A = this chain, B = another copy of it.
């Protein structure tokens, strides 16, 4: 298999959340091609599990699809922050819960064909409610408690459809 190396790049768009580059790649003499590559900070997802088996999920408006979604908490790893710290922070910001334990379940590549980043996934347990979700005009959230055993049915029904969230539940089910 050819291993393509980046020889040059043209920045098409640059933004802290998402950048787009046209890369010139080479795999050896006479073997050249272009590729479009999106760069983004790493992302995290966290499955917050209550002792009664319910998952703390959030409903929010998503601009990509221009519709609301039902997801687990998640977001962007800030510069200098660990993925685990980002997971704990996003959990608290989006739901008001603090976790005694935030344990890694694995990491996925959101779309290795076009995106360079990774999404680390965590399980949060020992949850205590400490404050309310931080809703603003930019991120308006409603917390929803979903029994873990109902998740497969709700995925099948198309009520939970975010691929990274479904991958998080896969990692949880494959855990241990």
Contact = CB atoms under 8 A, between A and B. Distances in A.
Interface residues of A, number: 65
Nearest to A60: B1
Contacts of A13: 12-13, 20
A157 to B, nearest CB: 9
A16 to B, nearest CB: 11
Contacts of A63: 4, 23, 25, 35-37, 113-114
A7 interface: no
Interface in A59-94: 59-69
Interface of A: 1-6, 12-13, 15, 17-18, 20, 23, 25, 27, 31, 33, 35-38, 59-69, 106-116, 119, 137-138, 140, 142, 152-153, 155-156, 158, 161-164, 166-167, 169-171, 173-175
